[in-house]
Amino acid sequence: MNFAIVGPGAIGSLWASYLIQAGHHVCLWSRNSSPHISIQRDECPAIQFHNGHTEQLAQADVVLVTLKAPQVQHVLESIAPHIDKDAILLLMHNGMGTAKATQTLFPNNPLLLATTTHGAYRPSSTQVLHTGQGQTLIGAVNQKGTQCEFLVEVLNHALPQVHWQHQINQALWNKVAINCAINPLTALHQIRNGELAAVHYRSQLDSITTEVALVMQAEGIDADAQHLRKTVNDVIEATANNYSSMEQDIAHQRPSEIDFITGHLIKTARTHGIDVPVNEQLYHAIKQIEQSW
Ligand SMILES: NC(=O)c1ccc[n+]([C@@H]2O[C@H](COP(=O)([O-])OP(=O)(O)OC[C@H]3O[C@@H](n4cnc5c(N)ncnc54)[C@H](OP(=O)(O)O)[C@@H]3O)[C@@H](O)[C@H]2O)c1
């Protein structure tokens, strides 16, 4: 198949490398204006990809968007004229809230969302390290998307495990819930995930997860505050040595994905008339840091 990877950063480079290795045609669409980009994954030989060619973008059967959430809308607006009307759009990023604008922009294309737990790190613009094996869940946003379940087999062949989710919103909310608990706190205090196991974070984490569970339930998503709290503890323990993506964004003075994580929670809470004061306080604290740069 013809794949276009839009936003070939750490996760996009990882997929580009595995997809081409599985025999697919893969082109890139990056901010870099160079016509070719070389990517070396782990110890594999470097591979050259075409980059920024509108004709190749137009031939893509699948447009895999691995931008960070805040970039999705404006980048897709800029490339919309070059995307085939039958191309499958697959958005893979943390957080929620980009699907609506994407659907408005591409009303006739199949639209899928994905969440992944693979770990990828880019030590330089031409290298990517696959730092952790994980799984990728994908599911449909619109009617045409429901006909694209076959893509699971294609992607699974390249970078397993990939699973189809009939309720992708459930998987995305589960991830948002964990991100709401771990990301803002680690970013504000500039700490590793494991440090959230300390006693003085307990009541704040309890409140965050209780608020998130209420909003999820109001959205018709399965959620239990105690179960969510336990999952958060498990993730804190399993990723104790890691810095969260928001911690790193704030440390490097890059705009974080807060609007699509805690911000999405707050927006959804408002539509149901639910108060989420602890999450709101964390949201404003992160925004304040970003606005101070
Ligand atoms: N990395 C992981 O292990 C991991 C794991 C799970 C989920 N995720 C999620 O996956 C998403 C991507 O993360 P990532 O770590 O791959 O981030 P990343 O390395 O920053 O990748 C994003 C890429 O988008 C590019 N980009 C920004 N603006 C663009 C534009 N106007 N046109 C084209 N490309 C543009 C960036 O270019 P520049 O290189 O020029 O900045 C960068 O290469 C995030 O939502 C993240 O939370 C990441």
pLDDT-derived band at 1 (thresholds 50, 70, 90) equals very high
Residues 129-147 have pLDDT tens digits of 999 999 999 999 999 999 9
pLDDT class for 115, splitting at 50, 70, 90?
A: very high
DSSP 223-259: --HHHHHHHHHHHHHHTTTPPPHHHHHHHTT---SGG
Atom number in ligand 1 closest to CA 117: 6
Please report the pLDDT score of residue 148 as a whole number. Answer: 98
Give me the domains of the chain, ranges plus CATH numbers: 2-166 (3.40.50.720), 169-292 (1.10.1040.10)
Q: Which of 85, 100, 175, 287 is catalytic?
A: 175
Residue 217 CB partners (closer than 8 Å, separation 6+):
223
List, for residues 218-269, the tens digit of each pLDDT value: 999 999 999 999 999 999 999 999 999 999 999 999 999 999 999 999 999 9
**pLDDT digits over 162-205, tens only?**
999 999 999 999 999 999 999 999 999 999 999 999 999 999 99
Distance (angstroms) between ligand 1 centre and the Cα of 90 equals 14
Q: Which helix (H) or strand (E) holds 36?
A: strand 36-41
- Residues contacting ligand 1 via CB (< 6 Å): 7-12, 29-31, 66-69, 71, 75, 93-94, 116, 119-120, 122, 245, 257
In the structure, what pLDDT confidence band is assigned to residue 159 with cuts at 50, 70 and 90?
A: very high
Residue 229 phi/psi, 5-degree rounding, is -65, -40
Indicate the pTM of the whole model: 0.97
Ligand 1 atom with the smallest distance to the CA of 93 is 45
Query: Is 267 annotated as catalytic?
Result: no
Q: How does pLDDT run across 39-92, given as a tens digit for each residue?
A: 999 999 999 999 999 999 999 999 999 999 999 999 999 999 999 999 999 999
DSSP lists the bridge partners of residue 90 as: 64, 112
pLDDT at res. 262:
98
